[in-house]
Structure 1
Amino acid sequence: MAPQRHPVVKRRSSLLARVAGAILVTTATIGAAAVLLSERIVEGQRHQDLLRRAELVAATQADALSGPLWELDTRSVQRMIDALTARDLAIRSIAVYEVGRDTPLAQATAGAADPANRVAVERPIVLHGREGGVETVGRLRVAYSTAEVRQATLDALVPVVGLLLLSLLGAMAALGLTLNRIVLRPLRRLTQLAGVLARGDYGARMNADRADEIGVLADGFNRMAGTVQDHTRTLESRVQERTEALAATNRAIMDSINYAQLIQSSILPAPETLRAGLTEHFVLWRPRDVVSGDFYLCREVADGFVVAVADCTGHGVPGAFMTMTASAMLNNALDLLGADDPAAILAVVDHKVRAALHQEGDVRNLTDLFDNGLDLALCHIRPADGRLVYAGARIPLLIASRDGVTELRGDRRSLGYRRDPAQADAPFANRTVTLRPGQTFLLGTDGLTDQSGGERGRSFGKHRLRDALLRCGDGPLDRLKMELEDTLHRFQGEREQRDDITLFGFRVRLTDAAILPGDGSARRAA
């Protein structure tokens, strides 16, 4: 058994959420880019300021150091650069060199050495004479730390970033509210109206006063809803007309079928005919449709009466047509031959049905492809002689007595169906049964035994029919009928009836001369 697949349910996301997410990502990207660009600009400006500051300090200090350096007053030079280092915390090192020497005359350092985060400025130390002369007496090297630049940059960016974030959040909020009012709210309304339209309310409409794309969309929705409403009304009107026409046609057909049922019922034996020669009887006649393809017969003849049950091809109206044809042929054969030889009557009905339906000879056209006929069981009952003669075409005769249930099977051929002209028809056989008191006879079509039911949908079968005869065969036949109906109802359950069902049960009213001691018997007659 294949695993059951469940439909995949797609989660719906709000358009507003998706638009807000897109705006948020865009805003964050733009903000990050603006902050990085501002950082580069501010850091560059702070770096230039630091260079100008370093050059100014170096120029001022170089003028102050020219005299002591000329006099080679190392102590004074050291005091001056130490004082400068103490005043300006951004200075990391100061070195004073004599002209032509790489070894500093004096130097001062502050903080750890980190050449990557430093900027150095060199300035020549020039001595100005009284007479306007200029002489270079050394050089000054000042190294500043750029950590101040980084901190100054961060301090300058904090208000900028705050203002930028506030601006972006305000712009995002304003844009979201605007989109919600102008775009998303009309789209939600359109979605709600589409759901209303899908539930069958075709009068839903949307305001289409706007001149933008939303207005065009709303106008298109309204025109679509109007078209659907017009088509639905037209379709409903046409469906109503067709329904009324079909109802009228169905009433006419059912009236015809019900009238056909009355006609078919007229060929069945009247209750007084059944009571005339039978001590007890019951008939379980259940057409699958209104009319049936089965029929039964009980007819008085000179030395007794005839009982027959037939199952024609098809059911419903086609089967009913066949019952009218077969019943007429059977009565005609009885009128011509009498009831003494049931086997001969079966042969005559076989020939007459085949001739009436043009089912003799080779197939010449499409109409000849149809092959119809019937199964038939015929009993000639002679109460005065105390015997019953049975002949059957596929329909058996069941006999219930004190000894159990006996089945006389019919010949294994049906009546009326097309046959090979080169093959001779096998004769039907008569079987004679000696009548005894308490015997119950049952003729039935295969509609009962072939009916499906139970948990596994199997057929009713003959064993259930036999069990009912064993339980109730010696009691009143009305009780046997109720037992069979109840058993069939419980077995069938909710399943549909497959075929027409006919059961004819009877007991023979024997004359005093015909009541003899002994058990019933059945013998074969030529």
Structure 2
Amino acid sequence: MAFLNRIKIPTKIFAGFGIVIGLLLVAAGVGSWSLAGANDDYDEYRALARQTVAVGRVQANMLMTRIHAKDFVIKPNEESISQVKARAEETIRMIDHALKLAIDDKRREIIDALEDDLKSYVAEFQRVTDLQAKRNRLVFENLKVIGANAESALTEITEQAYQKENLQAAYRAGRMLGSVMRARVHAAHFLIQNDEASYKTASDEFATIDKHSTQLTRELKAPQLHRLAGEVTKDVERYRQVLVRVHKITHERNEAIHERLNRIGPVVARKVEKLKLSLKSKQEIVGPLAEAEIDAATEVTIGVSLLAFFLGISSAWVIGNGIARPVVSMTDAMSTLADGDTEITIPATDHRDEIGAMAKAVQVFKENKIRADALAEEERRIQRELADAYGLITQSIDYSSNIQRAILPPVARLEQMFEDHFVHWEPRDVVSGDFYWARDWGDGKLFVLADCTGHGVPGAFMTLVAAGALERAILNLPEGNVGALIQRTHQLVQVALNQQTDEGEADDGLELGAVYVGPTDKPGQSRFIFTGARFDLFIADKDDVEIIKGTKAGLGYRRFPADQEYAEVEIENTSGKSFYLTTDGLIDQLGGEKRRAFGKRRLSALLLEIIDAPFDEQRERIKSAIEVYQGENVRQDDVAIAGFRLG
């Protein structure tokens, strides 16, 4: 069969196909003649099968329409709406197709009625989506805005009443704020779960709010706070009215779902199923008749086909062997070459067909592999050098951690400042963007906990800049002027980062909380001042946790002017109280079953739980609480928290 080496592969293939096709034509002619008698019954069976498939597609698309409608009911979104409309339109097209295939009037009437039922279903679904959209607008444009305004106003009343020493009014405003927040929580639960009990609880909470509102108005002295309390009362009433409207709309939506959508859908499904079963029953009668005629024709066709098969196999073997044998030899050579043996001799390089061309290409591949092996060795050498470089970088970062820890105050200095204390400082990476700082300031002491932009190496660089700015700022300022110290630090960070103008791309900075403890004229008492830059001070006793908010401005950022002022808050009664500062790495850590932030409320509850424990134990319990809450979630940021008690 050496003559095959001189024939091109396409010619070999065309010749083989020609022989096979010729034999197939003979077999097909005989088969067509034999099957002609079974044509009528088969045509009827085929028509029934097409109708069954068409009805099945209507059934499947209708099911998907109901599934997407159910998805919208469970979790309303635009995607579910578009899917319902798309599936409904597709179902109508399928119904029209099934109507064209129907071969009797009775089935046409059933299919025609399906389209009317589907349109009724879509119309009811549109009404549900309209009610849902109306409900969402009331929630997002009214409830959220009004509730937030009321909480903000009550917070302002609480803070101003407290500053004016109107403690009864501050307490009343705080109670009212708690009631508003509980009402909003129960309202939110109702919106999510459709829970009538939550709606009733939220409604009941408004009665408590009204009671506190009346008492608060009597207890407030300042006209400005009277006016603010009046606005809160109006906001609460508006919130209640909107919630009633939302409840009514939700009831209408649920009624449309349960009384109409859930009724129409099953009715249509039963009609489709009944029609499909009718078609299948008819198929079971026609099918065997057509099958018997086809069996007879098949026996004749098989005999002719077997003869054609053996002749085709013989031709295919001759032609295939002429192609396959040299290809197998070439494959073996390529496998040997792939195993790394570049000494192999490539066969069939003398052929004048495509195999010869492939052999020449493999020869080129062999030569390229020899060059590639040399390049691979060079790449491995480069990878080893990169690994060595990575090791040096890792060592540098580890050493940077030692440098950063060196700027943190020693334990002995903190023990001199506070009766008892703890500091939990935990970088997310090797180095941290959080740091704490303590210095003597005249006859007093100053402690700072700060959170710089970023974490890791960039955050660590920022801590060095911020610590240096604090060191410079404290040199020329009078003792105890904490607000001026923070302002000066802000200015120094802006200058250090060239952020004192609007030009440039960088906008980095920090947030911090600073406490000053100094002497007073009263024996046995200390002067305690807190200043926060987007930082809160938590004050805890056995009964409650109070949060003192700092100024809503960071340090060093371009958007804050150089003369930005930072408010000082003096705490007069520190006896029996513990004080805590924390960066947002703890507050913002995601975790729990719903993957939400740890939050200030959860931290306050934890502080009340551990208030009587020694501070070393408090540190371990806070650390454990963060780890348990975080669970399998990644640590998002550096964590730093400090707690202390004054002597």
Q: Does 1:381 align with 2:517?
A: yes
Q: Is the 8 A contact 1:360 1:419 kept in 2?
A: no
Percent identity reads 32
Corresponding residue to 2:613 among 455, 475, 492: 475
C-alpha displacement of 1:30: 8.6
> What count of residue pairs does the alignment treat as equivalent?
355
Corresponding residue to 1:435 among 567, 574, 587: 574
Distance 1:326-1:28 versus aligned 2 partners, 3 A rule: closer
C-alpha displacement of 1:348: 1.8
Q: Does 1:288 align with 2:428?
A: yes
Write out per-residue CA displacement over residues 198-233 of structure 1, whole angstroms, 9 at most, x where no aligned residue: xx7455968514733365155235325425634643
Looking at structure 1, the residues matched to 582 and 431 of structure 2 have their Cα atoms a distance apart, in angstroms, of: 17
C-alpha displacement of 1:264: 1.2
Q: Is the 8 A contact 2:330 2:347 kept in 1?
A: no
Q: Is the 8 A contact 2:487 2:564 kept in 1?
A: no
Looking at structure 2, the residues matched to 390 and 417 of structure 1 have their Cα atoms a distance apart, in angstroms, of: 21
Q: Does 1:462 align with 2:591?
A: no
Corresponding residue to 2:347 among 171, 185, 208: 208
Looking at structure 1, the residues matched to 477 and 405 of structure 2 have their Cα atoms a distance apart, in angstroms, of: 25
Looking at structure 2, the residues matched to 452 and 279 of structure 1 have their Cα atoms a distance apart, in angstroms, of: 33
Distance 1:416-1:18 versus aligned 2 partners, 3 A rule: same
Query: Amino acid of the residue matched to residue 208 of structure 1?
Result: P
C-alpha displacement of 1:350: 1.8
Equivalent position of 1:240 in the other structure: 380
Query: Amino acid of the residue matched to residue 387 of structure 2?
Result: A
Equivalent position of 1:145 in the other structure: none
SS at match of 1:314: coil
Equivalent position of 1:414 in the other structure: 554
Equivalent position of 2:641 in the other structure: 503
Q: How does 1:217-366 map to 2 (within 5 A)?
A: 217=357, 219-220=359-360, 222-223=362-363, 225-227=365-367, 229-230=369-370, 232-337=372-477, 339-363=479-503
Q: Is the 8 A contact 1:440 1:505 kept in 2?
A: yes
Q: Is the 8 A contact 1:394 1:413 kept in 2?
A: yes
Write out per-residue CA displacement over residues 9-34 of structure 1, whole angstroms, 9 at most, x where no aligned residue: xxxxxxx999988645445769999x
SS at match of 1:241: helix
Equivalent position of 2:113 in the other structure: none
Write out per-residue CA displacement over residues 410-446 of structure 1, whole angstroms, 9 at most, x where no aligned residue: 111112222576x963452232242223x32211111
Q: Is the 8 A contact 2:327 2:355 kept in 1?
A: no
Q: Is the 8 A contact 2:543 2:608 kept in 1?
A: no
Q: Is the 8 A contact 2:483 2:531 kept in 1?
A: yes
Corresponding residue to 1:390 among 504, 508, 530: 530
Q: Is the 8 A contact 2:529 2:568 kept in 1?
A: no
Q: Is the 8 A contact 1:398 1:407 kept in 2?
A: yes
Q: Is the 8 A contact 1:440 1:474 kept in 2?
A: no
Q: Is the 8 A contact 1:448 1:502 kept in 2?
A: yes
Write out per-residue CA displacement over residues 47-78 of structure 1, whole angstroms, 9 at most, x where no aligned residue: xxxxxxxxxxxxxxxxxxxxxxxxxxxxxxxx
Query: Amino acid of the residue matched to residue 241 of structure 1?
Result: R
Q: Does 1:490 align with 2:628?
A: yes
Looking at structure 2, the residues matched to 455 and 201 of structure 1 have their Cα atoms a distance apart, in angstroms, of: 52
C-alpha displacement of 1:361: 4.1
Q: Is the 8 A contact 1:405 1:466 kept in 2?
A: yes
Q: Is the 8 A contact 1:342 1:430 kept in 2?
A: no
Looking at structure 1, the residues matched to 397 and 306 of structure 2 have their Cα atoms a distance apart, in angstroms, of: 87
CA RMSD of aligned residues (A): 3.9
Looking at structure 1, the residues matched to 360 and 397 of structure 2 have their Cα atoms a distance apart, in angstroms, of: 53
Write out per-residue CA displacement over residues 217-263 of structure 1, whole angstroms, 9 at most, x where no aligned residue: 55235325425634643453343233233323322322322222211
Q: Is the 8 A contact 2:329 2:347 kept in 1?
A: no
Distance 1:210-1:360 versus aligned 2 partners, 3 A rule: closer
Equivalent position of 2:585 in the other structure: 447
C-alpha displacement of 1:447: 1.5
Unaligned runs of at least 5 residues, structure 1: 1-15, 34-164, 511-526
Distance 1:223-1:312 versus aligned 2 partners, 3 A rule: same
Looking at structure 2, the residues matched to 309 and 22 of structure 1 have their Cα atoms a distance apart, in angstroms, of: 88
Looking at structure 1, the residues matched to 410 and 399 of structure 2 have their Cα atoms a distance apart, in angstroms, of: 18
Distance 1:497-1:171 versus aligned 2 partners, 3 A rule: closer
Q: Is the 8 A contact 1:293 1:314 kept in 2?
A: yes
Looking at structure 2, the residues matched to 472 and 282 of structure 1 have their Cα atoms a distance apart, in angstroms, of: 13
Q: Is the 8 A contact 1:468 1:480 kept in 2?
A: no
Looking at structure 1, the residues matched to 306 and 428 of structure 2 have their Cα atoms a distance apart, in angstroms, of: 84
Write out per-residue CA displacement over residues 86-127 of structure 1, whole angstroms, 9 at most, x where no aligned residue: xxxxxxxxxxxxxxxxxxxxxxxxxxxxxxxxxxxxxxxxxx
Distance 1:327-1:420 versus aligned 2 partners, 3 A rule: closer
Relative to the length of structure 1, the TM-score reads: 0.58
Unaligned runs of at least 5 residues, structure 2: 1-11, 30-304
Distance 1:209-1:191 versus aligned 2 partners, 3 A rule: closer
SS at match of 1:434: coil
Distance 1:169-1:489 versus aligned 2 partners, 3 A rule: closer
Looking at structure 1, the residues matched to 479 and 367 of structure 2 have their Cα atoms a distance apart, in angstroms, of: 75
Distance 1:339-1:228 versus aligned 2 partners, 3 A rule: farther
C-alpha displacement of 1:397: 0.9
Looking at structure 2, the residues matched to 203 and 22 of structure 1 have their Cα atoms a distance apart, in angstroms, of: 41
C-alpha displacement of 1:182: 2.9
SS at match of 1:499: coil
SS at match of 2:408: coil
Looking at structure 1, the residues matched to 410 and 362 of structure 2 have their Cα atoms a distance apart, in angstroms, of: 70
Looking at structure 1, the residues matched to 466 and 430 of structure 2 have their Cα atoms a distance apart, in angstroms, of: 19
Q: Is the 8 A contact 1:202 1:228 kept in 2?
A: no
Q: Is the 8 A contact 2:16 2:319 kept in 1?
A: no
Relative to the length of structure 2, the TM-score reads: 0.48
SS at match of 1:399: strand
Distance 1:465-1:206 versus aligned 2 partners, 3 A rule: farther
SS at match of 1:417: coil
Looking at structure 2, the residues matched to 308 and 168 of structure 1 have their Cα atoms a distance apart, in angstroms, of: 95
Looking at structure 1, the residues matched to 531 and 308 of structure 2 have their Cα atoms a distance apart, in angstroms, of: 105
Looking at structure 1, the residues matched to 424 and 375 of structure 2 have their Cα atoms a distance apart, in angstroms, of: 47
The 10-residue stretch of structure 1 (321-330 or 16-25) with the greater mean CA deviation from structure 2: 16-25
Q: How does 1:138-217 map to 2 (within 5 A)?
A: 175-188=315-328, 201=339, 203=341, 208-209=347-348, 211-212=350-351, 213=353, 215-217=355-357
Q: Is the 8 A contact 2:554 2:560 kept in 1?
A: no
Query: Amino acid of the residue matched to residue 424 of structure 2?
Result: L
Q: Is the 8 A contact 2:586 2:639 kept in 1?
A: yes
Q: Is the 8 A contact 2:545 2:607 kept in 1?
A: yes
Looking at structure 2, the residues matched to 221 and 296 of structure 1 have their Cα atoms a distance apart, in angstroms, of: 69
C-alpha displacement of 1:378: 0.9
Distance 1:407-1:281 versus aligned 2 partners, 3 A rule: same
Looking at structure 2, the residues matched to 385 and 450 of structure 1 have their Cα atoms a distance apart, in angstroms, of: 36
Looking at structure 1, the residues matched to 452 and 411 of structure 2 have their Cα atoms a distance apart, in angstroms, of: 23
